[in-house]
Amino acid sequence: MAVSKCTRLNGPLIKQMFDSVDSVLFDCDGVIWRGDQTIPGAPDVINLLKKNGKNVFFVTNNSTKTRKMYADKLALMGFNATEDEVFGTAYCSAMYLKHVSKLQGKVYLIGSNAMRQELEKVGIQQTGVGPDPISGVQIDWANVPLDPEVKAVVVGFDEHFSYMKLNRALQYLNNPDCLLVGTNTDTRLPLEGGKAVPGTGCILKAVETAAQRQAQTVGKPNHFMYDCVASQFGLDRARCLMVGDRLDTDILLGSNCGLKTLLTLTGVSTVADAEAHQESGCPKRLGMVPDYYVESIAELLPALQG
């Protein structure tokens, strides 16, 4: 389709775009829901896409839920979705360790129970979930007991993150053979009313800084998240569309993987943000310019209903 980047998607162009794709990857928060509130029209869009023969997948950097938890939430909100269509960073981290790193050993996990469950599903044992209170003095911290079977430190969102967890990660990572894997680098989690809380990226940066190591991340915009979907479902990247609300994760993932990209304005990023990237001329920033944008994915409904 001979259109310029960052084009408003409407009218006949919507049908033209959908005719060019077989599979659509959706981010979740800010795209199909906000918190526990469905974006109006989103379930109809998803369900009609499937009815029209499109493959639909849900790709999220949230590491606090298992695939099943996401599938249950989707069903409760009226989306026609199955567990195997959900790709979160808890699941993708387990896939990375199992099939790419071929980990032989345990994980020291800075993360959630959901991550623990996804790791255990593929036979990877972990230690570290839950609070880790501090005691003793600095020399005690430097000699904290370590599990000799731990071969990787994995960092996701952890509401119990603490100085002792940071210290324990450092002690494991003093071994150069110990892997460091992060779920994602999102620094802030946007909430309703313009509020935000620190995201996983803050925790991961602390661990990287202490260990003087850089993590391998599996979430958006890293191509591994798309690879997870593509390897299981045989996707053709030339006929895939990535739909998201964040330029630095969703849209950049699409660009990194050669997918068509659609920005929805119901979440974090704005058209002004995209235009600033476009005008910058910087190659990395150009990767954050979407092919198309809509105010909300509900704008796709008329074309799908017709």
Residue 27 assigned to a binding site: yes
Got the DSSP string for the chain?
A: ----SSEE--THHHHHHHHT-SEEEE--BTTTEETTEEPTTHHHHHHHHHHTT-EEEEEE---SS-HHHHHHHHHHTT----GGGEEEHHHHHHHIIIIIS---SEEEEES-HHHHHHHHHTT--EE--S-----S-HHHHHT----TTEEEEEE---TT--HHHHHHHHHHHTSTTSEEEES----EEE-GGG-EEE-HHHHHHHHHHHHT--PEE-STTSTHHHHHHHHHHT--GGGEEEEES-IIIIIHHHHHHT-EEEEETTSS--HHHHHHHHHH--HHHHTT--SEEES-GGGGHHHHH-
Query: Which two structure tokens, joined as six digits, stand for 292?
Result: 């198309």
Residue 29 assigned to a binding site: yes
Q: Which residue has the tokens 């990572």?
A: 173
Q: Any idea which residues carry the catalytic annotation?
A: 27, 29
Residue 245 assigned to a binding site: yes
Residue 220 assigned to a binding site: yes
Binding site, annotated residues for substrate: 220
